[in-house]
Amino acid sequence: MAKDDVPEVVRNKRVILRDYVTGFPKESDMHISFSTMILKIPENHKGVVLVKNLYLSCDPYMRLRMRNDQDPEFTPFTPGSPITRFRVAQVLDSTHLGFKEGDFVWGTTRWEEEDSFIARPERLFKIRHTDFPLSYYARILGMPGMTACAGFYEVRSPKRGEYVFVSAASGAVGQLVGQLAKLEGCYVVGSAGSSEKVQLLKERFGFDDAFNYKDEHDLEATLKRYFPEGIDIYFENVGGKMLGAVLINMRVHGRVAVCGMISQYNLDQPQGTKNLMCLDYRRIRMEGFVVFDFCHLYSEFLHKMLPLIRDERITYMEDIAEGLVNAPAALIGIFSGNNIGKKIVRVAPE
Amino acid sequence: MAKDDVPEVVRNKRVILRDYVTGFPKESDMHISFSTMILKIPENHKGVVLVKNLYLSCDPYMRLRMRNDQDPEFTPFTPGSPITRFRVAQVLDSTHLGFKEGDFVWGTTRWEEEDSFIARPERLFKIRHTDFPLSYYARILGMPGMTACAGFYEVRSPKRGEYVFVSAASGAVGQLVGQLAKLEGCYVVGSAGSSEKVQLLKERFGFDDAFNYKDEHDLEATLKRYFPEGIDIYFENVGGKMLGAVLINMRVHGRVAVCGMISQYNLDQPQGTKNLMCLDYRRIRMEGFVVFDFCHLYSEFLHKMLPLIRDERITYMEDIAEGLVNAPAALIGIFSGNNIGKKIVRVAPE
């Protein structure tokens, strides 16, 4: 706050979506705009907070909101306005009883440096454990961590000795699912898109095995090789051909947690998936889930994850881009698999 | 039994699979052969029964066993041997304590007039309620009835007011699922392959609405018209394009019971199914099931169904072919949709 209670006026950078996107998104689908903002909530504006963003999360799901889809489950971004997604932020001003200046929070935000008044701050998660780097709340202790846990435990109920396959396994969610599966005593194989990532999966994240799907021409045969006994649990992040190849390699009573299908997001016409007949005679259960449905379990999730992180039984890899001006490139990069681990953007120092 | 305990020798007709089938099956893929049989179990052959078949059940699933599939879930039929499937039969002779001459049973059999010694008769269901036509045990009180109940109640947990779609709705299982859904207070629409079947669905089976899928060129739009609010439960009997069109019309937390995919059984290369991405963001659960897993619930099933049939709250339509020589044509016919209701073959009078 400036001297004499004269509110500070700042120049605020924002990432604006130019127009709805078809096909593969490009950096030029977004541009940086500037606005000016007063860093003080007007006195008559009750129950809101004003935050300064620290970290932004780059998620494949954002691609779905870049298209003009009539699906009621997606609110498309508004062309000409900032795009939105999870972030870690610090409260600059608050007229809400639950938050005070200086608090750290995570939740959904616009992609800008400062975030103007957040009208329903009760939707934010307050960060109470600050003995971890704050960026953890954009990744392992935030949405990707919750997604991995919700999908793996709530949806798929793993059992010791089961065979687990994770696609996009070095990504934000996949690397955690694999480690959680190992902690449960499962046999875990992951797929990724480069030999560097494959090495990481095996050496750093403790996967039993891993392969580069780009080197494989017959995914059905590949999976048969890695899972001669078949797959019990598939954590689905990619969709399309991979899903078809997995289904024909599933065991009876196999389970598929559908977390995302990144291979389909940039296609105007989605690919068809084969081998769905296996669902029937192999009694396979395939279930989609969305992390928002599990928010009420956040404290349980923390209770589980915090000791695992403190004891270094779980590790995590992030890939940080610096500055909001680099946010569009960072986001686009995840669709080419440029990132290794969770891609986040550091907007401001902690 | 012939006089003086000399066992009767009979000429036994059998339906033999010539060779593994590719593409659409033809009557000529099977032929009728004759054997001679002694209608008496040798005295030293304990714990077996000998039965005479009365009704045989024609099921789409049999097509899957006509191909040389390496899938451990299918035991292919053996070329040169009789094909097998559910039937209703009468015990002619027994050396098993649980069965005596004259008992009626249902279970799996070879397609022949007499069935030689059944080595594990404990797998047969004894028919205790004989106040119904025996053919009921090849349909509403047998496997198709169990399939409808298992899929609808066990797998999909219907709730009053939900929107239910059934494909192949006039078929053996579909017509029952629709009626069970109506009894639960659901809104039910069915698809079938002729205007005659559509009329039956609406007038005889009490579906709220029905359509002929062959008249529709854009199934996504068709389903949107019949379900402007979306579909809560889909009972899947056909697969392929229909499934893709359903998925994009499902509501959040929708459920798909995968009972069969008849549209795919005769294809050497299965079709791909689109719109699987909906599984994720609509949180759809899709689950395959096989009626054999529910056999332990048979007495519960009877307890539910018998009063419904006695009170005429459930009706059922069967399509009977006469004589084992007509069995191959009857079986082939179900893949062209020639049957209306459950296709069964009457092998011998009751």
Each residue of B140-184: pLDDT tens digit? 999 889 999 999 888 778 999 999 999 999 998 999 999 999 999
* Nearest residue of chain A to residue B269 (CA atoms): A274
Q: Do A191 and A242 fall within a single domain?
A: yes
**What confidence score (pLDDT) does residue B85 get?**
87
On the 0-12 / 13-18 / 19+ scale of CB atoms within 10 A, A266 is middle
Asked if the interface predicted TM-score (ipTM) of this complex is over 0.90, the answer is no
Within a domain: residue A298? Answer: no
> Is the Cα torsion angle B68, A274, A279, B182 positive or negative in sign?
negative
- The count of domains in chain B is 2
CB contact under 8 A, A288 and B284: yes
3-state secondary structure of A75: coil
Within a domain: residue B330? Answer: yes
Q: In which residue are the tokens 């009694």 written?
A: A283
Any bridge partners for residue B318, and if so which?
Answer: B342
**What confidence score (pLDDT) does residue B327 get?**
94
Q: Do A38 and A122 fall within a single domain?
A: yes
DSSP tally for chain A: helices H, then strands E: 9, 15
Stated length of chain B: 350
Whether pLDDT at A154 is above 90: no
Q: Which uninterrupted H or E stretch holds B17? A: strand B9-17
Q: Which residues of A touch B64 (CB under 8 A)?
A: 281
Query: Which CATH number is B113's domain given?
Result: 3.90.180.10
Q: What percent of chain B has pLDDT over 90?
A: 65
- Dump pLDDT digits (tens) for A294-342: 988 999 999 999 999 999 999 988 889 999 999 999 999 988 888 888 8
Within a domain: residue B299? Answer: no
How far apart CA B130 and CA A13 sit, in angstroms, is 80
- Dump pLDDT digits (tens) for B60-106: 888 989 988 777 777 889 999 999 888 899 999 999 999 999 999 99
Q: Give A260-323 as a DSSP string.
A: --GGGTT-SSPPPB--THHHHHTT-EEEE--GGGGGGGHHHHHHHHHHHHHTTSS---EEEEES
User: How far away is chain A from the Cα of B62, in angstroms, using its nearest Cα?
Assistant: 12
Q: Which residues of A touch B283 (CB under 8 A)?
A: 287-290, 293
Q: Which residues of A touch B73 (CB under 8 A)?
A: 252, 281-282
Q: Do B77 and B9 fall within a single domain?
A: yes
Q: Do A113 and A236 fall within a single domain?
A: no
**Mean pLDDT, residues A56-64:** 89
Q: What's the number of CA atoms in the CB half-sphere (13 Å) around residue A95? A: 13
Domain that holds residue A253: 143-292
Q: Do B256 and B183 fall within a single domain?
A: yes
How far apart CA B158 and CA B337 sit, in angstroms, is 28
Residue among A246, A247, A277 with most chain B CBs within 10 A, to mutate: A277
**What confidence score (pLDDT) does residue B4 get?**
57
Burial profile A113-128: b = 16 or more Cβ within 10 angstroms, e = fewer: bbbbbbeebeebbebe
Q: Do A62 and A96 fall within a single domain?
A: yes
Within a domain: residue B225? Answer: yes
How far apart CA A39 and CA A289 sit, in angstroms, is 38
CB contact under 8 A, B287 and A279: yes
- Dump pLDDT digits (tens) for A108-119: 888 888 887 787
**What confidence score (pLDDT) does residue A349 get?**
80
CB contact under 8 A, B64 and A243: no
Q: Give B225-241 as a DSSP string.
A: HH-TT-EEEEEESS-TH
User: How far away is chain B from the Cα of A138, in angstroms, using its nearest Cα?
Assistant: 21
Residues A239, A264 contacting (CB under 8 angstroms): yes
Within a domain: residue A68? Answer: yes
Find all residues with CB under 8 Å of B313, minimum gap 6, and list them.
Answer: B183
How far apart CA B7 and CA B42 sit, in angstroms, is 10
Residues B53, B89 contacting (CB under 8 angstroms): yes
Within a domain: residue A113? Answer: yes
**What confidence score (pLDDT) does residue A5 get?**
64
Q: Do B12 and B79 fall within a single domain?
A: yes
Within a domain: residue B12? Answer: yes
Q: Do A43 and A78 fall within a single domain?
A: yes
Other Cβ atoms less than 10 A from the Cβ of B274: the count is 21
Q: Which uninterrupted H or E stretch holds B61? A: helix B61-64
User: How far away is chain B from the Cα of A13, in angstroms, using its nearest Cα?
Assistant: 31
Q: Do A189 and A58 fall within a single domain?
A: no
Query: Which CATH number is B185's domain given?
Result: 3.40.50.720
Within a domain: residue B113? Answer: yes
More confident residue, B265 or B2: B265
Q: Do A81 and A211 fall within a single domain?
A: no
Chains A, B: CB pairs < 8 Å: 104
- Dump pLDDT digits (tens) for B300-347: 999 999 999 999 999 988 889 999 999 999 999 988 888 888 899 999
CB contact under 8 A, A272 and B277: no
Q: Do B40 and B113 fall within a single domain?
A: yes
Return the beta strands (E) in chain A as ranges: 9-17, 30-38, 49-57, 84-94, 104-110, 114-118, 125-126, 163-166, 187-192, 209-212, 231-236, 250-258, 285-288, 318-322, 342-346
Q: Do A257 and A325 fall within a single domain?
A: no
How far apart CA A155 and CA A153 sit, in angstroms, is 6
